[in-house]
Amino acid sequence: MAKIRKGGKKSVPAVSTASLPDIIFMLLFFFMVSTSMKEVTYKVDIHNPEATELQSLEKKSLVRYIYVGVPKREFVKRYGSETRIQIDDAFAEIAEIRPYVEAERSAMKEEEQGLLTISIKADRETQMGIITDIKQELRKAQALKINYAAIQKMK
Amino acid sequence: MGKRSVQEINASSMADIAFLLLIFFLVTTTMSVDKGLSRRLPPPMPEKKEQKDVEINQRNIYVVLINSRNQVLAQGKLVDVAQLREDVKKFIRNEGNDPTLPELLPLSVEIDGRTEQVMATTNHLISLQNDRGTEYQKYIEVQNELVAAYNEVRDDFARQKWGVSYSELSDERQSAIQKIFPQKISEAEPKNYGGKK
């Protein structure tokens, strides 16, 4: 026999939030796995050039970056609007590349020193002159593995 | 005294903690995967030694020049970047044994345990020169086309021989193909055309 409900207010049960932490944790783990820490804060504006035949850099620990571009707006007053080089978190001169590479290499494990890759992240409107200078410095520093950072071109 | 009932830990703040962590990771990390064109620079020139120009047969060189107005000159002709790929592919392959294209030399390669004789233009060289005023994007585009030409030639070869693309082949087969079509892109020592600005 079915009970006959008496009229009156039906109370809606509260939505259980017990699984909310689990959902958030899942998101958290997803982001932890799929992203990587920012290497530096950019002080120069970089719009990567586009290309199609890209290879991804595999071991992050073997890669060092050189950024090339026009200083961001807040730095224009101090550093001008000429194309500049950024290494780690500071602006650098061409002459500083070689000691930087050598210092970074000697800080690495011995068996990995030959695998050091320099990734050049340059703005697409940079003139090749500065890139050529960087390449010459890298050659002098015996850092011959380089990578021109680029993004996938949409067809 | 009876058993004391253990109080349940209040877990409602767990979500807040997780949110906090989540936001922290969202802010400090980037999604971007590092990709780019990998290249190898030539070792530095010994400074004091006199530079010896290596004799290379004219037909084996493919010269690409980019000027400061981002125009591309390939083998003395003004070309569009889009066309460069086909031209370079023809140059690398030299299917018809054209005397103006690089010479075909016999090459023995070990493929699948057997030694095979292949005719290939192993002596070819692509020389890339750019001006100091060339835009980086253009330079990358040209580099990209050159690499793409090699990749397509290798891919075609793999498809003909094994019916699968180059990237699906085993390492051994890949290195055999790399021997037949070695990637030879040389970047000239920088020259300063037209002096400094």
Residue B196 has a pLDDT of 43
Within 8 A of A129 by CB-CB distance, chain B residues are 132-133
Pairing between strand A145-149 and A117-122?
A: parallel
Q: Identify the CATH assignment for A44-152 out of 3.30.420, 1.10.1060, 3.90.1200, 2.60.120.
A: 3.30.420
Mean pLDDT, rounded, of chain B: 82
Q: Which of A24, A38, A63 sits opposite B30 (nearest CB)?
A: A38
Interface membership of B7 toward A (CB under 8 Å): no
Residue B195 has a pLDDT of 45
Tens digits of per-residue pLDDT, B63-90?
Answer: 888 888 888 888 888 888 888 888 888 8
Query: pLDDT band for position B165 (50/70/90)?
Result: confident
Each domain of chain A, given as residue ranges in start order, spans 44-152
Which B-chain residues 149-188 have CB contacts (< 8 A) with chain A?
151, 187
Contact B12 A17 (CB under 8 A): yes
User: Which residue in the block uniquely carries the two structure tokens 């835009």?
Assistant: B135
- Residues A35-45, mean pLDDT to the nearest whole number: 80
Per DSSP, helices labelled H in chain B are 14-28, 81-93, 136-162, 171-180
Q: Which of B25, B36, B66 sits opposite A149 (nearest CB)?
A: B36
CA A136 to CA A152: how far, in whole Å? 27
| Residue B196 located in a structural domain | no
Domain limits for position B96: 58-185
How many structural domains comprise chain B?
1
- Residues B136-142, mean pLDDT to the nearest whole number: 91
Q: Which two tokens stand for residue B58?
A: 């004219």
DSSP-based helix, strand, coil % in chain B, nearest 5: 35, 20, 40
Tens digits of per-residue pLDDT, A13-24?
Answer: 888 877 888 888
Tens digits of per-residue pLDDT, B21-70?
Answer: 888 888 888 766 678 888 888 888 766 555 566 666 778 888 888 888 88
Contact B22 A31 (CB under 8 A): yes
